[in-house]
Amino acid sequence: MSFFYYWDFMSRGPGSSCIVSLFLGRFWFWEDLWVRDGKILDPEKLFFDEQGFADRRVDCGGSIVAPGFIDVQINGGYGVDFSQPTEDVAAGVSLVAKKVLEHGVTSFCPTLVTSPPAVYHQVLPQVQVHDGGPDGAGVLGFHLEGPFISPEKKGAHPERYLRTFRSGGMEDLTEVYGGLDGVAMVTLAPELPHSQSVVRMLCQKGIAVSLGHSVANLSQAEDAVQHGASFITHLFNAMLPFHHRDPGIVGLLTSDRIPAGRTVFYGMIADGIHTNPAALRIAHRAHPAGLVLVTDAIAAMGLHPGRHPLGQQVIEIQGLHAYVSGTKTLSGSIATMDMCVRHLKQASGCSVEEALEAASLHPAQLLGISQKKGNLDYGADADLVLVDDALRVRTTYISGEEVWRRDA
């Protein structure tokens, strides 16, 4: 099945109608999308088994229907910084969760940058994995970016909180993070001693392991993948540059030492600023199936142009750039997910489906949740985003319920 324009989109009760679906076979077609009890329904079964038909029809007005976007790296937004230990972290996460519906994001991983153990111990227990709804996008679990990263590639992470593995056992993790409940992904540098056992342990617990903020060579990166690592955090940024005799982590895109049946995914901040479009194209052409769009958005995302005090700094927003005030130092990304989808399409010349898949199917596959999310197969959660031909978000649905609509 593929999707393109659609007629009607029915929701609630047996049946909904629209043209849809991108991912069932990767073609386009005019189709109807049927939803019941928050899940995508097989209307043929409904018709023949239950002799049921639609209760309600919703006209999608010619929009493209895609699975809701999934952002696996977002540090905050709208003035909220997830890594700031506050009394009510959940409130901050909820605020961002609500606002990102406007960008077509229906699930996300709140991301914490390198922090002292006290912060993890305070923040992690306050937010549980939960489904989205009218109040905001669903939380898939935290993405812990650090502190087990390389001092040489710390980027904006505070050096004093970087850590190494003492033994490679669970204690290293629990000492820093506290518990690992509610954690969906950990970014670490695989060249750190004892990282291999940590990678294996995390993977066994169902936590995705991502390589980033690292000076690993290709061989070290490949070893980590052998042990279960499956993601690269913001490809090109905070790692050794591609070198033709040692491609480093970037070389994973075309490595021949990836275990059969597994895919290495890679995050791209496709805001046109953090990655040169030519570099984006190289990555996309080398390994299109692995491209995962991430915003890596900071607290300044969503704020109006101008100066904003954030944490210990003052940030100045000019267009899509967020600088440390008074300098030309980028302080992070403020692009929204839908902007990234549009930029990917425009810069790479990829198809609409590919651009949409990079924001939905691929992150779902990365997190191992593609039976429920990131596609429009029968039985998947009806988290949807309706976009126009220019890939601007018109309406967002979670579990078949409309949760955001652009004012006409």
Partner 1 sequence: MRLVILDDYDLASEWAAKYIRNRIVEFKPSADRYFTLGLPTGSTPYGCYQKLIEFHRSGDLSFKYVKTFNMDEYVGLPRAHPESYHSYMWNNFFKHIDIDPANAHILDGNAEDLEAECSAYEQKIAAAGGIELFVGGIGPDGHIAFNEPGSSLVSRTRVKTLAKDTIVANARFFGNDLSKVPTMALTVGVGTVMDSKEVMILITGAHKAFALYKAIEEGVNHMWTVSAFQQHPHTIFVCDEDATLELRVKTVKYFKGLMHVHNKLVDPVLSIKDQ
Element (H, E) at 231: strand 231-232
277-306 mask for partner 1 (x: CB under 8 A)?
Answer: ------------------------------
Identified catalytic residue from 296, 338, 381, 383: 296
Question: Annotation-wise, does 274 bind a ligand?
Answer: yes
Q: Which of 141, 71, 81, 149 is nearest to 114 (CA)?
A: 149
Torsion angle (degrees, nearest 10) of CA 170, 171, 175, 176:
-40
> Which one of 51-59, 131-139, 207-215, 217-225 is the stretch in contact with partner 1 (CB under 8 A)?
51-59
44 touches partner 1 (CB under 8 A): yes
26 touches partner 1 (CB under 8 A): no
- Shortest spacing between CB 37 and partner 1, in angstroms: 19
Q: Which of 47, 61, 215, 308 binds partner 1 (CB under 8 A)?
A: 47
The residues pairing with 307 across neighbouring beta strands, listed in sequence order, are 316
What is each CA distance from 296 to 116, 175, 223, in whole angstroms?
20, 26, 26
Question: Annotation-wise, does 245 bind a ligand?
Answer: yes
Question: Annotation-wise, does 286 bind a ligand?
Answer: no
Q: Which of 45, 166, 262, 406 binds partner 1 (CB under 8 A)?
A: 45
Q: Which of 13, 38, 39, 52 binds partner 1 (CB under 8 A)?
A: 52
Establish whether 296 is a catalytic residue: yes
- Shortest spacing between CB 48 and partner 1, in angstroms: 6
Question: Annotation-wise, does 290 bind a ligand?
Answer: no
The residue among 25 and 169 lying less far from partner 1, judged by its C-beta, is 25
What is each CA distance from 102 to 68, 137, 196, 361, in whole angstroms?
11, 10, 39, 19
The residue among 10 and 221 lying less far from partner 1, judged by its C-beta, is 10
30 touches partner 1 (CB under 8 A): no
8 and 58 in contact (C-beta within 8 Å)? yes
- Shortest spacing between CB 17 and partner 1, in angstroms: 9
Question: Annotation-wise, does 145 bind a ligand?
Answer: yes
Element (H, E) at 66: strand 64-67
Instruction: Report residue 307: phi and psi, to 5°.
Output: -100, 135
Question: Annotation-wise, does 279 bind a ligand?
Answer: no
29 touches partner 1 (CB under 8 A): no
Rounded Cα distance between 282 and 284, Å, is: 6
357 touches partner 1 (CB under 8 A): no
Q: Which of 25, 26, 37, 48 binds partner 1 (CB under 8 A)?
A: 48
> Which one of 44-52, 251-259, 316-324, 341-349 is the stretch in contact with partner 1 (CB under 8 A)?
44-52
Element (H, E) at 347: helix 337-348
The residue among 46 and 95 lying less far from partner 1, judged by its C-beta, is 46
Instruction: Judge residue 83's burial from the number of C-beta atoms within 10 Å of its C-beta, 0-12 exposed, 13-18 middle, 19 or more buried.
Output: buried
393 and 125 in contact (C-beta within 8 Å)? no
123 and 85 in contact (C-beta within 8 Å)? yes
Tell me how many helices (H) and strands (E) the chain has.
10, 20
Question: Annotation-wise, does 156 bind a ligand?
Answer: yes
- Catalytically active residues are 296
Where do contacts with partner 1 occur on this chain (CB under 8 A)? 32, 42-48, 50-53
Residues flagged as binding site for substrate:
156, 237-238, 245, 274, 330-332
